[in-house]
């Protein structure tokens, strides 16, 4: 049976509602796996994956002189910029790698390692002493301090993934920096560890180093002399690839085999009925599952805490509202609440809800004591919104503006204004919705309306009514592609603001 016919018959056999359930479960598992992976990457320290020996080879030794002569005979050009490379191997295979943006592919033709006996002898010594199986060497030439290499990893499929990489340096000292793999934190480009390998030294990147970190050689205009480095690696040979492919079975082939043998597992997405040949397209099965109401989740501070804004004040027809606000919550507490809610959705599938919108109300707990401004909070707010978008990719992320606060200190009012400006910018960058209801809680001359809407630090019943009207409007909307200039409030002074 061909794979096409198999897929057609399998789709006929699948239950539609069960298939939707499988998709939901898979999406949740993928999101959870990505966060587990992010935590794993962030917990790693590059110093645990790097060994450094500064006196591996003496510059006065005979092997050092032989290898230096062989490297210089390879014919490197004396130019600046990107380092030049030569690929020396015993496998006879070329070596290709892509640039970080994927727009450029570099291919190096093989040079027989037998033509450079000094480098070959060094590789054999490393294999004997360390028990490795190096069979190739990438020689890099840095003309001076203008030659550098950007952050990258050496995890191409042509290399054995469980093998280390040993780098022997010749010439002037250059700084090698290690950073975290991109995409797992907002400080991916900040060096976690720096190494300055000297003449005749060796450093080894252990298995796992390429998986969790990237490395690069820093530009240094003060350096006027050249540097060579020999990077010994284990390239996968065609025989090894064939042996590995024989050990790994295809999931599709296994599923086809089970299907042909009648051993397709029964479950929520598979029907136990025999396959029927259909001449007409199958009709849509009746909806026997309970439809979950679209849910809006509010995570905030004392302004929106549970005892102040309740479900019955916000809920609209066919909607559900969950308030996870806590009094005194700071940005890190809001992020922890988001993670706890997500983990509960993953662990308790029976209680999982269809999260349509997530509203964040960050409040003033982080900014009322920030004497030097609030821009240092940008990273933490961005991390919360990115986490929400990754955990709930189909949900609309909404950020409520920070409401006016009493002038407790001389810097509190400017901090609130700057914090809202920052929130608006972050929402624009991350494609989130910014709910700007600030003007509805101040007087016409721009002052906080203490008497009408506030009870000391928090909103009174009238102020809560206005905020609930805004939240109810947000919950009821299904699209925010349009910009609203005015929202009619049920209060005489109500003046709506645009959603940016």
The tens digit of pLDDT for each residue in 75-95 reads: 888 766 678 999 999 999 999
Tell me the two tokens of residue 143: 């003309």
What is the reported pLDDT for 25?
Answer: 63
* 105-108 and 95-98 strand pairing: antiparallel
The position carrying tokens 């900014």 is 367
* DSSP H or E run through 329: none
Is there a contact between 275 and 9 (Cβ–Cβ < 8 Å)? yes
Under the banding of pLDDT at 50, 70 and 90, the label for residue 172 is very high
CA nearest to 326, candidates 301, 308, 307, 348: 301
Mean pLDDT of the chain: 78
What is the reported pLDDT for 123?
Answer: 96
pLDDT at 286 over 60: no
The position carrying tokens 């024989």 is 246
pLDDT at 309 over 60: yes
DSSP conformational letter for 295 = E
Which is higher by pLDDT, 100 or 206? 206
Between the alpha carbon of residue 280 and those of residues 19, 277, 283, the distances in Å are 21, 9, 9
Whole-angstrom distance, CA of residue 139 vs CA of residue 146: 18
Q: What is the mean pLDDT of residues 471-500?
A: 52
The position carrying tokens 């989740």 is 297
Q: CB under 8 Å to 453, separation ≥6 — which residues? A: 441, 459, 460, 462, 463, 466
Q: CB under 8 Å to 160, separation ≥6 — which residues? A: 133, 234, 235, 236, 240
For Cα atoms 373, 376, 378, give the angle at the middle one, nearest 5 degrees.
115
Q: In 118-220, at which residue ranges do the beta strands (DSSP E only) sit?
A: 136-142, 149-152, 165-171, 176-180, 193-195, 202-205, 213-217
pLDDT at 279 over 80: no
Is there a contact between 197 and 174 (Cβ–Cβ < 8 Å)? yes
* 433-435 and 396-400 strand pairing: parallel
Largest CA-CA distance found in the chain, in angstroms, rounded: 92
- In the chain, the domains with their CATH numbers are 3-40+248-260 (no CATH), 45-241 (2.60.120.590), 294-476 (3.40.50.1110)
Strand partners, 159: 235
Whether this prediction's pTM lies above 0.75 is answered by no
The position carrying tokens 């130019």 is 79
Whole-angstrom distance, CA of residue 164 vs CA of residue 171: 23
pLDDT at 165 over 90: yes
Between the alpha carbon of residue 220 and those of residues 224, 305, 462, the distances in Å are 9, 54, 63
What is the reported pLDDT for 133?
Answer: 93
Q: Helix (H, G, I), strand (E, B), or coil: what is residue 173?
A: coil
Q: What is the mean pLDDT of residues 441-453?
A: 69
Lowest mean pLDDT among 138-142, 225-229, 276-280, 320-324: 276-280
What is the reported pLDDT for 200?
Answer: 94
The tens digit of pLDDT for each residue in 321-349 reads: 888 888 888 998 999 999 888 888 877 66
* DSSP H or E run through 451: helix 450-453
pLDDT at 263 over 60: no
Q: What is the mean pLDDT of residues 138-144?
A: 94
The tens digit of pLDDT for each residue in 30-42 reads: 666 666 777 788 8
Between the alpha carbon of residue 328 and those of residues 108, 301, 333, 364, 458, the distances in Å are 59, 6, 9, 9, 12
Q: In 244-334, at which residue ranges do the beta strands (DSSP E only) sit?
A: 294-299, 319-323
Whole-angstrom distance, CA of residue 229 vs CA of residue 243: 32
Whole-angstrom distance, CA of residue 232 vs CA of residue 77: 22
Strand partners, 294: 319, 354
The position carrying tokens 């988001």 is 338
Under the banding of pLDDT at 50, 70 and 90, the label for residue 454 is confident
CA nearest to 185, candidates 296, 44, 292: 44
For Cα atoms 145, 151, 152, give the angle at the middle one, nearest 5 degrees.
125
The tens digit of pLDDT for each residue in 348-400 reads: 666 667 888 999 999 888 887 787 888 888 999 999 999 999 888 888 999 99
Which is higher by pLDDT, 92 or 104? 92
pLDDT at 492 over 50: no
Q: Count Cα neighbours of 339 within 13 Å in the Cβ-side half-sphere.
A: 14
pLDDT at 175 over 80: yes
What is the reported pLDDT for 222?
Answer: 92
């Amino acid at each position: 049976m061909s794979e096409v016919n198999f897929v057609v018959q399998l789709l006929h056999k699948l239950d539609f509602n069960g298939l939707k359930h499988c998709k939901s479960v898979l999406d949740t598992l993928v999101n959870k796996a990505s966060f587990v992976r992010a935590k794993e990457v962030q917990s790693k320290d590059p110093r645990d994956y790097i060994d450094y020996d500064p006196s591996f080879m003496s510059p006065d030794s005979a092997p050092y002189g032989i290898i230096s002569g062989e490297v210089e005979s390879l014919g490197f050009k004396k130019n600046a910029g990107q380092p030049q490379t030569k690929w020396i191997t015993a496998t006879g295979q070329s070596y290709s790698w892509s640039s970080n943006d994927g727009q450029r592919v570099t291919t190096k033709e093989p040079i027989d390692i037998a033509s450079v006996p000094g480098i070959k002898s060094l590789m054999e010594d490393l294999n004997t002493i360390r028990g490795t199986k190096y069979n190739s060497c990438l020689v890099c030439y840095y003309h001076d301090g203008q030659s550098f290499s950007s952050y990258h990893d050496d995890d191409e499929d042509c290399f054995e993934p469980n093998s280390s990489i040993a780098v022997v340096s010749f010439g002037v000292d250059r700084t090698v920096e290690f950073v975290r793999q991109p995409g797992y934190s907002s400080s991916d480009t900040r060096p976690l560890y720096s190494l300055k390998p000297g003449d005749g030294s060796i450093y080894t990147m252990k298995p796992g180093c390429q998986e969790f970190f990237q490395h690069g050689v820093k530009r240094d205009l003060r350096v006027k002399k050249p540097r060579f480095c020999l990077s010994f690696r284990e390239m996968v040979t065609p025989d090894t690839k064939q042996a590995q492919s024989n050990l790994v079975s295809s999931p599709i082939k296994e599923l086809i085999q089970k299907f042909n043998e009648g051993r397709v597992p029964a479950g929520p997405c598979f029907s136990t009925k025999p396959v029927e040949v259909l001449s007409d397209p199958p009709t849509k099965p009746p909806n026997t599952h309970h439809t979950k109401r679209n849910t809006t989740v509010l995570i905030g501070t004392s302004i929106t805490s549970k005892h102040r804004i309740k479900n019955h004040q916000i809920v609209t027809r066919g909607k559900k509202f969950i308030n996870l606000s806590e009094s005194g919550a700071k940005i890190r507490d809001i992020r922890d609440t988001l993670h706890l809610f997500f983990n509960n959705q993953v662990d308790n599938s029976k209680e999982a809800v269809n999260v349509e919108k997530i509203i964040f109300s960050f409040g003033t707990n982080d900014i009322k004591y920030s004497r030097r401004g609030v821009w240092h909070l940008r990273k933490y707010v961005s991390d919360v919104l990115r986490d929400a978008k990754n955990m709930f990719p189909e949900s609309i992320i909404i950020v409520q503006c920070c409401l006016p606060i009493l002038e407790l200190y001389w810097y509190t009012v400017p901090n609130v204004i700057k914090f809202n400006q920052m929130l608006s910018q972050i929402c624009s960058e991350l494609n989130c919705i910014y709910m700007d209801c600030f003007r509805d809680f101040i007087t016409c001359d721009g002052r906080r309306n203490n008497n009408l809407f506030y009870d000391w630090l928090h909103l009174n019943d009238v102020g809560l009514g206005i905020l609930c009207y805004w939240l109810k409007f947000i919950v009821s909307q299904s699209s925010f592609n349009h910009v609203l200039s005015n929202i009619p409030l049920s209060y005489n002074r109500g003046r709506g603001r645009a959603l940016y």
